[in-house]
């Protein structure tokens, strides 16, 4: 398999400024991103939201890439129009691989690779990155129903979440880390294209994303508890049955009653409006090839 | 001087959820906040913005407390109307002391007390808190022109900034720290009212807030540099002449040319829309009493 065109995307959420800054750096050609055997394009996906320092204008752009929305004859919402335009560009430019960069705000997700699917190419690339970078963790959505993210436009690629980084902030430490990751990916692809694929581990650890856990609410739908301090900031750690997961307004613990799981996206600011406290995930080891 | 009524305020910015959670806890009476010799009232200052998870609806509420805006005969903007209502309540309830709780997002401001003015009462309370709490630092606005914050409605009080905490996130560690600070303040006030004022240091260290430093921009007004990694996350540290303060899109350093100063509110997310990179401050020691 040869990769001819790679798309680097940022700004699907307009207030995630750190990857946008890096892609602007690439655009200024201060750092080469095209290699001998493939080309790299850059996309700032939601420029209006970037300008307004908002996550989105009308609706979350990263929920607009379902085939249903892409086929809508007369989209009205800004992000729905934008999603169709991006889809046209991806098809016309014959993009082979999408790398869509995002940031998490409160949750300490390090570098989280959200794979588009379990295609062996995606698994191997992820395995290579995890092997060479301690910050990297690999997540696969357990239920592949929601194919509405930018990464779902084509089979190869992933969303890369880095953080925590506050909204609208360009964090210089993370700019450097992400630049390093992009260079690792480009090197890997160059070698794949030269038919000398880098050695990748045969067994990889991945987190299979399960359902969200919601905050407890009162009759008016208002949140009445906070995430327990043991969990806050402890993304990827293990949550066992009977461990406290919330503290309510009276200072009482609320305990977890499910099966042992790992916790992801803990206290993620962008999920607060959906009243999601964190996600559960199952840690797995799988063989590849 | 006796304190009869204290106002604890949160939610002047609707997306600063951590102090709001604490005040809701107080409202549920799970923790007593009224003392033998004074009463404590609670204000959630911008309930509409809280509901919408936004900093504000029309304009920043914490710029609406100037006498000019409070005297406006027919305010139209939501926050201007709200500021007038809050002012009426403060006057009618005969509030003696305002403690207005805020959070910073990206900047590591610890517990920063922004004093309403240099009234000896404010200085002594701040000195007491700094003496008993290592996280506390005291800031006084050098130019007292902008008397448009909630704290400016009456002579006694302060804004308390805690953080960094991502917007809309209830950080359990900070809830606990802020609860501890509030209890320290209430104890102090109780003793003042009993004419047995706690011992306070005679000399205090404070930071006199100077002008902001803006991001470099291009012809289109777009930001073209990031805060230097040495500065990011290093609030209250010293910036000397000829030290790098930004890195531009070409990877070149931009150097500071002013006089030695301390840096505050570094990479503060809420100031990004104003293109403020950080504030300068002068560290001073002053005698009180």
Q: In order of start, what are the domains of chain B with their CATH numbers?
A: 5-201 (3.40.630.10), 211-287 (2.20.25.160)
Residues near B202 by Cβ (< 8 Å), separated by ≥ 6?
Answer: B287, B288, B289
Q: How confident is the model at residue B273 (pLDDT cuts 50, 70, 90)?
A: confident
Predicted confidence at residue A142, as pLDDT, reads 64
Q: Where are the alpha helices (DSSP H) in A73-171?
A: 78-92, 120-132
CB of A63 within 8 Å of any CB in chain B?
no
Average pLDDT, chain B: 94
Asked if A227 lies within 8 A of B172 by C-beta distance, the reply is yes
Asked if A171 lies within 8 A of B247 by C-beta distance, the reply is no
Predicted confidence at residue B145, as pLDDT, reads 65
Predicted confidence at residue A289, as pLDDT, reads 73
Q: Token pair of B126, please?
A: 């701040």
- Is B137 within 8 Å of B173 (Cβ atoms)? no
Closest CA to A66 of A141, A128, A148, A11: A148
pLDDT higher than 80, residue B72 = yes
Cis peptide leading into B164, omega within 30 of 0? yes
Q: Which of B168, B174, B217, B273 to mutate to test the interface with A (most CBs of A within 10 A)?
A: B168
The DSSP 8-state label assigned to residue B40 in this structure reads E
Residue entry with tokens 């040495």: B230
Closest CA to B105 of B245, B247, B253, B273: B273
Predicted confidence at residue A270, as pLDDT, reads 84
Chain A: residue whose CA lies nearest to B250: A30
Give tens-digit pLDDT for A255-273: 999 999 999 999 999 888 8
- Spans of chain A below 70 pLDDT: 30, 142-145
Q: What percentage of chain B reaches a pLDDT higher than 70?
A: 98
Which of A17, A228, A249 comes nearest B30 by C-beta?
A249
What's the order of all strands across the beta sheet hosting A253-255?
A225-227, A244-248, A253-255
CB of A167 within 8 Å of any CB in chain B?
yes
What's the burial of B166, exposed, middle or buried (CB within 10 Å: 0-12/13-18/19+)?
buried
Give tens-digit pLDDT for A230-247: 999 999 999 999 999 999
Asked if B273 lies within 8 A of A53 by C-beta distance, the reply is yes
Predicted confidence at residue B259, as pLDDT, reads 96
Say how far apart CA A211 and CA A281 lie, in whole Å: 8
Predicted confidence at residue A145, as pLDDT, reads 65
Asked if A53 lies within 8 A of B175 by C-beta distance, the reply is no
Q: Is B191 left (phi over 0), alpha (psi -120 to 50) or beta?
A: alpha
φ/ψ of residue B237, rounded to 5: -80, 170
Predicted confidence at residue B114, as pLDDT, reads 95
Average pLDDT, chain A: 94
Which of B25, B223, B273 comes nearest A249 by C-beta?
B25
- Is A96 within 8 Å of A156 (Cβ atoms)? yes
Asked if B250 lies within 8 A of A17 by C-beta distance, the reply is no
Predicted confidence at residue A286, as pLDDT, reads 92
CA distance B117 to chain A (A): 30
CB of B30 within 8 Å of any CB in chain A?
yes
Q: Check: pTM over 0.95? Answer yes or no.
A: no
User: What's the ipTM?
Assistant: 0.90
Say how far apart CA B50 and CA B14 lie, in whole Å: 4
CA distance A133 to chain B (A): 21
pLDDT higher than 80, residue B134 = yes
Chain A: residue whose CA lies nearest to B31: A250
Predicted confidence at residue A143, as pLDDT, reads 63
């Amino acid at each position: 398999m040869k990769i001819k065109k790679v798309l680097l995307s940022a700004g699907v959420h307009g207030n995630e400024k750190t990857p946008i800054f890096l892609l602007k750096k690439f655009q200024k050609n201060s750092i080469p991103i095209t290699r001998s055997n493939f080309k790299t394009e850059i996309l700032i996906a939601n420029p209006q939201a970037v300008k307004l320092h908002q996550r989105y204008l009308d609706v979350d752009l990263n929920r607009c890439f379902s085939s249903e929305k892409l086929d809508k004859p007369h989209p009205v919402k800004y992000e729905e129009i934008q999603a169709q335009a991006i889809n046209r560009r991806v098809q016309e430019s014959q993009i082979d691989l999408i790398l869509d960069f995002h940031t998490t705000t409160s949750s300490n997700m390090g570098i989280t690779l959200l794979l588009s699917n379990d295609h062996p190419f995606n698994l191997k690339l992820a395995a290579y990155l995890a092997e060479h970078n301690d910050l990297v963790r690999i997540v696969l959505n357990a239920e592949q129903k929601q194919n509405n993210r930018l990464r779902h436009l084509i089979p190869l690629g992933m969303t890369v979440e880095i953080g925590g980084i506050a909204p609208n902030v360009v964090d210089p430490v993370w700019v450097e880390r992400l630049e390093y990751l992009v260079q690792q990916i480009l090197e890997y692809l160059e070698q794949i294209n030269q038919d000398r694929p880098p050695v990748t581990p045969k067994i990889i650890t991945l987190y299979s994303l399960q359902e969200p856990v919601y905050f407890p609410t009162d009759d008016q739908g208002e949140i009445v508890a906070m995430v327990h301090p043991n969990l806050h900031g402890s993304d990827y750690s293990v949550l066992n049955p009977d461990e406290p997961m919330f503290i309510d307004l009276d200072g009482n613990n609320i305990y977890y009653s499910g099966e042992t799981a790992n916790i992801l996206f803990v206290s993620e600011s962008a999920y607060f409006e959906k009243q999601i406290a964190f996600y559960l995930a199952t840690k797995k080891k799988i063989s590849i090839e």
